Amino acid sequence: MSDPLTPVVRNRRTVLKAGATLLLSVFAPLPAYAAQILAVRVWPADDYTRVTLENDSELKTTHFMVKDPERMVVDIEGLELNPTLKGLVAKIQSNDPYIKQVRVGQNRPNVVRLVFDLKEEIKPQVFTLAPAGAYKHRLIFDLYPVKEVDPIAAMIEEGNWTSGAPQPTAPGLPPQPAQPPIAVQPTPQAQLEALKPDIKAEPRAELREQVKTAEAQVRPPSKGGKADKIERIITIALDPGHGGEDPGASGRNGSREKDIVLSIAKRLKGKLEAIPNIRVMLTRDGDYFVPLGKRVEKARKVQADLFVSIHADAFVQPTARGSSVFALSEKGASSSAARWLADKENEADTIGGVNVRSHDRQLASVLLDLSTTAQINDSLKLGKSVLAEIGGINRLHKGSVEQAGFAVLKAPDIPSILIETAFISNPEEEAKLRDENYQNQMADAIVKGIRTYFARNPPLARNRLT
């Protein structure tokens, strides 16, 4: 006789086995997911070379340096080789200042190894960036020279000040005609020195009166006086906005702000350097990213007399048009549009990619919060002179200099303006921005504005001419 409980027991065992199988399937290790490299980009420059791997998830890396010859070895976990990553080899240019070549291989399962063969010893920064703008996750390799590029030494090597002879300053740009020099206001000491030879021939009473007047209130030198001959080199920092990982705004026909403004800046540089005793420093002279704070730092290192940042803005409505000039504001933006634009421009570090671990935010904050009322007043004077000239070649978006908290204008001791040359988002103005003739006209207008500013506000002679 069969046991009546047997079917029940069998059914229970069947259920238990099925449950166990289900649990094992749930907790069994899943096959590792390999991240996908979506794009590779290389940005060589004298300042540093940046290599970017854009991917669909955050990557974990380790790296180390090898001597004799100089190499940097990078292991990337959770990655399988794909054609996009293999394409990195062909991205390295022969004129890259720091990378000779790169080798890519599958070091072990789920680990890809990159070997950078270097031209000299470098200080690498390897970091990741969260998705920003049009980019997904990015793995960044910034290769800096052990000895940083000195902007002053670079300017001396390039011979960036002239004796008035026409000279080209960029490939493809014609030489600029020589222009008359900009007058320099002597220091009080220089003016007193200039008076001495003439004072000797004066009667004693007049001599005392003249010296007393000169000491109490320095007067501009008279025409033909020796003080008029005082000269010094004037340094102007030109800042083409965006660059590298940060393309800036884009036009309907594919124009990129970073390309347009670099072209205008190079034309402007050539025209300014045709003026005797003027030298120009570009914060970037190629397609690479420069953080906002670094742009200010470069200008201060060369003791710039002026800082001019060049942009081509965009708006959500393609009908927006016109050129604008902006100065810094301590008390908030002069309009909601100015505030919106400043916020957009200040996002450049997020889009371009700053290594937060090496970026001293506190130091940057101290530097950028030292801006003085005098600097802003001088910036407004400069902006007004430039705006008046730009109005002769293009419609103005607003007839006065606007103000907002642009990070790139916060050098505490340099009159600084930001010029929006036109709206790249407007198809008609995009066509203008692409036109060489318009770029030259814009550069000419800025030069005239700068000359007008210096005519009304002559730069002081320095005790040590540089």
For 77-98, the DSSP string reads ESB---HHHHTHHHH--TT-SS
Name the DSSP class of 318. Answer: T
In percent, how much of the chain has pLDDT > 70? 72
81 touches 34 (CB < 8 A):
no
Report whether pLDDT(198) > 60: no
pLDDT at 430: 96
Distance CA 33, CA 335 (A): 49
- The angle formed by the CA atoms of residues 46, 47 and 50, to the nearest 5 degrees, is 95
Lowest mean pLDDT among 114-118, 239-243, 337-341: 337-341
pLDDT at 366: 42
Other CB atoms within 10 A of residue 313 CB: 27
Distance CA 16, CA 425 (A): 67
**Own/partner pairs for 427-435, CB < 8 Å, 24+ apart?**
427/251, 427/252, 427/253, 427/318, 428/321, 429/321, 429/394, 430/251, 430/252, 430/253, 430/255, 431/253, 432/394, 433/251, 433/255, 433/260, 433/312, 434/253, 434/255, 434/260
- The angle formed by the CA atoms of residues 226, 415 and 229, to the nearest 5 degrees, is 10
pLDDT at 462: 60
Residue that wins the pLDDT comparison between 218 and 355: 355
pLDDT at 159: 63
Mean pLDDT over residues 421-427, rounded? Answer: 95
Report whether pLDDT(415) > 60: yes
pLDDT tens digits along 212-255: 554 444 344 444 444 445 567 899 999 999 999 999 999 999 99
292 touches 348 (CB < 8 A):
yes
Handedness of CA 299, 412, 162, 312 (dihedral sign): positive
pLDDT at 17: 59
Q: pLDDT grade, residue 338 (50/70/90)?
A: confident
Report whether pLDDT(102) > 80: yes
- The angle formed by the CA atoms of residues 283, 285 and 288, to the nearest 5 degrees, is 85
Mean pLDDT over residues 189-194, rounded? Answer: 47
pLDDT tens digits along 159-168: 654 444 444 4
Question: In angstroms, what is the C-alpha Rg of the chain?
Answer: 30
Mean pLDDT over residues 43-53, rounded? Answer: 95
Distance CA 48, CA 310 (A): 22
pLDDT at 152: 73
Name the DSSP class of 177. Answer: P
Mean pLDDT over residues 35-40, rounded? Answer: 91
Distance CA 266, CA 286 (A): 10
Distance CA 205, CA 444 (A): 51
Q: pLDDT grade, residue 169 (50/70/90)?
A: low
Report whether pLDDT(16) > 70: no
Mean pLDDT over residues 176-192, rounded? Answer: 62
Domains assigned to the chain: 37-145 (2.60.40.3500), 153-181+231-456 (3.40.630.40), 188-229 (no CATH)
Report whether pLDDT(174) > 70: no
Phi, psi (rounded to 5 degrees) for 307: -130, 120
Mean pLDDT over residues 300-308, rounded? Answer: 95
Mean pLDDT over residues 314-341, rounded? Answer: 84
In 3D space, the residue among 380, 399, 345 whose CA is nearest the CA of residue 456 turns out to be 380
Q: Tell me the average pLDDT of the chain.
A: 81
Distance CA 227, CA 221 (A): 6
CA distances from 8 to 11, 13, 14, 55, 216 (A): 5, 9, 10, 55, 115
pLDDT at 178: 67
